[in-house]
Amino acid sequence: MSKCKQCGMCCRTMVVPLNPRTDKDAFELLTMKSNYIRHTQYAGQYWVMLNSQCVHLEHDYQCGKYEGRPKVCREWPKKNLKLWKKLCPECGYCE
């Protein structure tokens, strides 16, 4: 059964969409940055996963703003599951 393992990966990263035709230079640059993790292609785009930790993430990977967390966090990862499966197969919702 799918469930959160509380690994904090979704709160320690951000995913940036890039058009492979118009953003070729930005794509190349992002993949050379120290916070680059991995990328994939999905729905006609490149998607680059970067290290980018939320300021509300606590040391035990719990959300420090749980009751007031943004809508995107409340709905995570249902809306983006197909993409997230490609970028973070270790997530409990992707198994």
Rule CB under 6 A: which residues touch ligand SF4?
4-11, 54, 56-57, 63, 65, 69-70, 73, 77, 88, 91-93
The residue type at 12:
R
In whole angstroms, give the CA distance from residue 34 to residue 56.
22
Nearer to ligand SF4, 26 or 73 (CB): 73
| Alpha helices (runs of H) in the chain, residue ranges in sequence order | 9-12, 24-30, 71-75, 81-87
Min dist CB 8 to ligand SF4, Å, is 5
Min separation Cβ 6 and ligand SF4, Å: 5
